[in-house]
Structure 1
Amino acid sequence: MIWPFTSASGKGDKSENDSSRQPVPWSDSLNGTDWQHYKDPRNWVPTLLVTTTVLASLKIYRSYLRRIPGAIHVQPSFFRKRSIFGRVTSVGDGDNFHLYHTPGGRLAGWGWLRRVPTKKPALKNRTIPIRIAGIDAPEGAHFGRPAQPFSTDALAWLSSYILGRRVRAKIYKRDQYDRIVATVFVRRFFIRRDVGLEMLKRGLATMYEAKTGAEFGGLEERYKAAENKAKAKKRGMWGGQLEHFESPREYKTRMNLEESTPKPNDTTNP
């Protein structure tokens, strides 16, 4: 019996279908591919260009346009190789401040399309603490310690010089307080100024004197000359009697020694 809509030669068709479904060797299939299609540049160049553009754009974004919200997010590969650009949002002491990273600057829309927050709640955990490399400013009063002479002068000068301004920080490392140690530059009257060097010139800081961890970015001789000139002209902290002068490093060493030495009425120690 022949079913409707079927061929009378059903058995023959079945055998032909079975033979057509037999597996074909991979080599035969490969040899049967039309490779001429792939040799035509019009078929693969657009795909290559799109892929390359996407990968390059992603790399540029990650390296230059992605905003860094804090010191712990600065990649070690950036140290001694890269600088970061941003606006100073607060100055904590005579030699450190907080920076809001604005990658790309005005070309990326910062200042006209994208705004830097100004309120403390909006800035919380979104800035990078920067320690100015190569200098040591007089210590302010904190942790129960008295302030050094000229500590308020150094803080006031640094605040007036960089607070609210855009600066570029050439970064070297992260210190024990999770601050980024960097040489800091700011443009004043269209001239790029080294902030640390300017403080040395005014006698508002000394060269960093610690035996380890000092970073000068190749500017040590220049810094030393600026310090000697300020000392010779008795500027800032060098204006008093030098025999009674105590550098920030000497002050911190003395404070640490006093705090670690048991007092006569200390009953907690035998």
Structure 2
Amino acid sequence: MAVVPTYPASTLSHLDWLEAEAIHVLREVAGQCASPALLFSGGKDSICLLRLAEKAFRPGRFPFPLLHIDTGHNYPEVLAFRDRRAAELRERLVVRSVEDSIRAGRVVLKHPQESRNKHQSVTLLDAIAELELDACIGGARRDEEKARAKERVFSFRDEFGGWDPKNQRPELWSLYNARVHKGENVRVFPISNWTELDVWQYIARERLEIPSIYFAHRRPVVRRAGALVPVTPLTPARPGEAVEEVSVRFRTVGDITCTAPVESTADTLAEIVAETATTTITERGATRLDDQTSDASMEQRKKEGYF
């Protein structure tokens, strides 16, 4: 049984404070929302959310299902971890696929090789309507990039799933308003105030299991536009590109077509924490290829319903 520790305020570490804030947010969702879901992809941020949910609600069941929007192009190691972790927790996992949206004509790709990452919005909005969700809990953090830095902890979305950064609710004194009309919803980010370093320190402190691709391993890659692009059937080497086998790890994990690793020899949590503490490159700066088209790309996608 997970037990939330209690300490005198003077002895709380910064991770204790962040943990307490996140647990408070999760309990606010459970108290205010009729039909929430927690987005769980098997990535490091959502792994932290699962531990926080355990501390918030165990020994009872989570008051929400786990939901994953699968592009169909995710790393198999991460999907296997997702399924196993949900089974270990005995929590309901709902998976909705962009592939199904393509077959239904809801998503039309410009060409077969187009990244499906941005098209997750359609599948997510369809899942929200199907499951009648009034809140989706996710692991986005403000330190990741500019558009996410604008979001509140409770980010209001209209009946079309759209986000208006100029029309958000105040959150003075950590008071949250999750009231929505039918068809509207909120996206809730309990670890908004965490950094990438906080996430890795928390994973290390809690001894959380993570997918193997977060640790250093050797993988064939090509160097393209300042990034290491994995050579896979979905992302083959282009004519003239030299394929190298390099020791790499992933700092963030998403669709294969837009997620790049970084060179690293860090194969323990302690080494990852040390490496993260000294890096001068942002988490998404050289690893999320879809973020590099323009500064406004993420903000525009979020306005259209992206998580």
**TM-score, normalised relative to structure 1:** 0.22
**TM-score, normalised relative to structure 2:** 0.21
With CA pairs under 8 Å and 6+ residues apart, which has the higher RCO, 1 or 2?
2
Larger radius of gyration: 1
